[in-house]
Structure 1
């Protein structure tokens, strides 16, 4: 079911169905396929948190959280993931989520324009730590969080949100984190009804993140804000805060406002096959440490390296669909295709640190020289037809000084929902990200623990394994 096929119907009740679903998550038995996908996304997010721990968005968020509430113990102190530091439950969750999205390496749902891993897992692990949840309970909470993170922006209308200047990236994670927290807090359905109303009051975020340079504001909108506010909503409801009953259905409520009534809003998507069909197969892994739409061009450039001498490159032309100008002109290194092309050609590989380096993009004369020779253009032929799923593809043409042209076309990148990564692929990626920080044996221990997540009697094992 999609907004294109099913018009917005204000009469469809969703609040009670959603609340009952969340209240029953721990007793549900998802399919083996979905549970394996859930485990892989837990691993992918943990690896991102390990790799990004010392990047500026993570460092700033950690200092901020510790300044507010750090150092204390007690039942509501939680670990800032990837560290030995503790802060209040909400502050630790905020810092952990910011850490997970401190760089362009975590998962995303392309059809919803959200990146669920860092906010959902940050909230879930913080509550799991303070409430003593098992690995199986953690997994089910995370899977439920992905459901709401992916479903809510589509129910509101991806196009509606963009036209209103509201970032899906803030709203999806808010509902996802709230859901994961509500599951592990074991809130009853009648209390979860109030979680939705406090999520609706906090639903926010703007597309201004596209102007961000250091990835700090982006990490806030995509991860920290949603994790913090979603956990707040669940904790407030648990504490007895009440609000509009049936908030998502009320005629005067947020979800039935004029903003979401027209366009591509589809309330029914929220509950369509809820509990049987999962958003997890629609969730992509990033194979490379760069923004999602830049991945195919990066893959094409890496594939061309054996066929070209980088010193003989006269010009590079990258043809792609979608918002090509954003990736031509992005101030953020991991989103700027001209910069990424330059460092790939110079280094003959793509390095995680180099992909995030503002200093190198601004100050390296060799990089600047190559960037001037890279052209990014729109290719209408690569656009998906109306009603078809979003695609991410690229054609790269390298012009050499001897007159030769070398071309590579990538119609899809491994990790996109249409061409998923295998469990072995995801585990190899996690090892690549974690080994430099943890060492090979400790990284292997994380992979093994997540592989056996449902056998863990205490999910705090994962927190200990990535602590440093």
Structure 2
């Protein structure tokens, strides 16, 4: 049943397989969105599930948008209720996986046209598959992490939707009956948060884009350093020291990591040398051994800041650059570019898309894809996206 597209290839496969692969691809290089109120990355699983199920059932663009919006609303509320980062630390469960599983199921269920009763069963099938451990933090290559955040949730949600659409029945009240999900998973908040302002507050509007194609805790430091470079026009060799303050737990995630796109010290050094961080430079592992970069890296000192930790989930950073002549330059970024408080413009989002997509699909195909996505309401069948997503 080859009904779904593997993005960036010529492969067609079943919806479940496509959701799995596209989910992993979506989180494979730190370019996907984040939702701080729920400690999750909704897009990397919700969108692949909506696309896979949407292709299978031939839905139109408006239905696809509804499916994605619903996925963001359902998945994020699950881990908001569980207790987001504090819950993950205490339970050792991955909020990113759990949010993605329920969000993906809702999106795929909407695309499959499930009715209200079937949606109840869908939630139960998803709860039975709910899994994910915080051990993803020890994955130094971020391959398993891509599975945990994107691929597994997308596969789980799409599987649940297709089972119910095919006639599967189940438990009606998985969040309230005997032996229910909340009893099993022990949330830190009341069950009412599962439906708090549902239909009024749309979680996709509380989701952050990443301006930089790097780990989320490095967004604010790069913003701050870019501001300082633009204001004061200094060169890397003029710098004596760079002190970067971020939230305590955030520092642990990015402290001298083995992977370039989540190593704060390395990326600050790249920014000093290049005056910019691109997708290519952020993922160029060879540059971690570049003498020019290493000369700057030894100047970078990461500080775990308890005050910034208290301000989470606002991902702030304070960067202090001391020049060789003693001049001290400081920048405090309170709202990262791409967040709800400091949103990227449509042109900025399109520019980021072009940087990421053009090397794979080519400039012409990329332009057509961006134009189509920005006008999804006019798409009669999401299968029309296939030639735009495939590698020719």
Matched, 1:289 2:213: yes
Q: Secondary structure at the residue paired with 2:331?
A: strand
Any unmatched runs of 5+ in structure 1?
A: 1-73
1:255 to 153, 163, 182: 182
Alignment of 1:65-464 (within 5 A): 74=1, 76-158=2-84, 159-257=86-184, 259-260=186-187, 264-306=188-230, 307-323=233-249, 324-361=251-288, 363-384=289-310, 390-464=313-387
The answer on whether the counterparts of 1:285 and 1:416 sit within 8 Å (CA) in structure 2 is yes
Change (3 A) 1:162 1:240: farther
SS of the residue 1:118 aligns to: helix
Q: Verify the 8 A CA contact 2:320 2:328 in the aligned structure 1.
A: yes
2:260 & 2:163 partners in 1: Cα distance? 39
Secondary structure in 1 matching 2:109: helix
| 1:46-92 deviation per Cα after TM superposition (whole angstroms, max 9, x unaligned) | xxxxxxxxxxxxxxxxxxxxxxxxxxxx4x53110122111222111
Report the alpha carbon displacement of residue 384 of structure 1 after superposing the two structures with TM: 4.0
- What is the rounded CA distance, in whole Å, between the counterparts of 2:283 and 2:133 in structure 1? 23
The equivalent of 1:44 in structure 2 is: none
Contact 1:327 1:337 in 2 (8 A): yes
Shift of 1:227: 0.3
Q: Measure the CA separation in 2 of the matches of 1:199 and 1:398.
A: 49
- Corresponding pairs, count: 387
DSSP 3-state at the match of 2:13: strand
Name whichever of 162-171 and 78-87 sits farther off. 78-87
Structure-2-length-normalised TM-score: 0.93
Provide the rounded CA distance (Å) in 1 between the counterparts of 2:194 and 2:381. 31
CA distance in 1, matches of 2:22, 2:309: 36
RMSD value, Cα: 1.9
Task: Report the TM-score when normalising by structure 1.
Answer: 0.78
Give the whole-Å Cα distance in 2 for the aligned partners of 1:325 and 1:87: 39
